[in-house]
Amino acid sequence: MKLPWSRKQAPKTLSAREGYDKWAATYQHESNPIKVSSDECIRRLLPELAGKSFLDVGCGAGVFCKYAEDAGASSIMGVDLSPEMIRVAGNVCTRTTFQAGDLQTLPLEQHAFDVVVAGLVFGHIRDLDAALSNVLRAIKPGGCAVITDFHPYLTLTQAHRTFVDKATGKSFAIEQHLHLFQDYVRLFNKHGFILRNLEEPQWQGKPVIFALKAIRQTS
């Protein structure tokens, strides 16, 4: 299984939008420890979705929007910075409303969703406070957020998120920012959430991602 990161000198670094636009055509057909671990954690931490309103921020190729459709979610929305990823997702999902936008500024209706998923998203965003606060405000009391991302250990040891553009054969890195667990916990507390789960799956003895599940308090 190919490593999705490198500690060698980073190749050209792209913005998240440019990087995922380039990666969109092949992203969902590639397997690596980060994607596998993230998907496994999200599936394990998600609650029952039947009859629930569901939002996937950083929905990528639409894997979890399709999962929510199949699970009977009542309404489903997918958001991604990359228009190309949205295009790919639209080809596999039939009941999902998609929107391209930046989580730091995208208007999200407050208290609109029972369940929000953010898989491998916030590390690509410099201003975690703006983006995560925006997402947390969209969750109903009693609702939950399930979040995964590139583990801080990898960022602190100078690992870079990388991929190969199949059209050109060139390797690229995608911008990545360091956010610590305490940054997430601070924002959960600020917006009335309780952290219920923290997982740190490993690959070859090293943590590759982390997964968090937080519940919005009802009073």
The topology (CATH level 3) of 11-216 is Rossmann fold (3.40.50)
pLDDT tens-digit profile of 53-99?
999 999 999 999 999 999 999 999 999 999 999 999 999 999 999 99
- What is the reported pLDDT for 33? 86
**pTM for the structure as a whole:** 0.93
What are the residue boundaries of the structural domains of the chain, listed by start? 11-216
**Per-residue exposure over 176-213, b if at least 16 CB sit within 10 Å of its own CB, e if not:** beebeeeebeebbeebebeeeeebebebeeebbbbbbb
What pLDDT score does 159 carry?
80
Give the model's pLDDT for residue 87: 96
Q: How far apart are CA 8 and CA 214, in angstroms?
A: 35
Pick out the chain residues at pLDDT < 50.
1-2
Q: What is the pLDDT of residue 2?
A: 47
* Nearest alpha-carbon partner for 65 in 52, 74, 55: 55
What pLDDT score was predicted for residue 30? 83
Among 146, 93, 153, smallest CA distance to 120 is for: 146
